[in-house]
Amino acid sequence: MNEAFYESILSGKHMMFWFESIGRESIIKAILFRPTSEPDTYKMLLGDLDPDGSINVESRSNNGDTEKVLSIAARSIVFFLSDHPEAKVVIEASTESRARLYQIAIGREMEDLGNYLNILGFHGEKPEAFQSGKNYKKIIVSLKTDQLNF
Amino acid sequence: MKARVADQHDTAASWLTAEKLEELRPIIEANAQAIVDKEVAAWTPEFRAALRKLREGGIENRS
Q: What are the tens digits of pLDDT across the range A25-67?
A: 888 889 999 999 999 999 999 998 998 999 988 777 677 778 8
Point out the residue among A127, A138, A145 whose CB comes nearest to the CB of B57. Answer: A145
How far apart CA B3 and CA A126 sit, in angstroms, is 50
Residue B19 belongs to domain spanning:
2-55
Structural domain total, chain B: 1
Please say whether the beta carbons of A113 and A74 come within 8 A: no
Residue A9 has a pLDDT of 67
Q: Is residue B60 included in any domain, yes or no?
A: no
| Number of domain units in chain A | 1
The domain of A29 spans 3-147
The total of other beta-carbon atoms located within 10 Å of residue B60's CB is 14
Question: What percentage of chain A has pLDDT greater than the value 70?
Answer: 87
Strands A41-49, A88-92: pairing kind:
parallel
The pLDDT assigned to A6 comes to: 65
Q: What stretches of chain A show up as alpha helix (H) in DSSP?
A: 3-9, 66-83, 96-113
Cα→Cα distances B10→A138, B14, B17, Å: 36, 6, 12
For residue A45, the model assigns a pLDDT of 93
What sign does the dihedral B36-B40-B41-B42 (CA atoms) show?
Answer: positive
Residue B27 lies in a domain: yes
Is there a contact between A34 and B29 if contact means CB atoms under 8 Å apart? yes
**Between vectors from CA A144 to CA A141 and to CA A147, what angle results, nearest 5°?**
145
Residue of A nearest to B14 (CA): A51
**Using the beta-carbon criterion (under 8 Å), do A16 and B29 form an inter-chain contact?**
yes
Is a pLDDT exceeding 80 seen at residue B59? no
Whether residues A11 and B18 touch (CB distance < 8 A) is answered with yes
Q: Indicate if the pLDDT at residue B7 is higher than 50.
A: no
Residue A134's pLDDT band (boundaries 50, 70, 90)?
Answer: confident
Q: What is the ipTM of this complex?
A: 0.83
Contact A32 B28 (CB under 8 A): yes
CB of A93 less than 8 A from some CB of B? no
Instruction: Please report whether residue B39 resides in a domain.
Output: yes
pLDDT given for residue B5 in this prediction: 42
**In a domain? residue B22:** yes
pLDDT recorded at residue A110: 74
Which residues of B fall within a CB distance of 8 Å from A2?
A: none
Question: Is residue B29 assigned to a domain?
Answer: yes
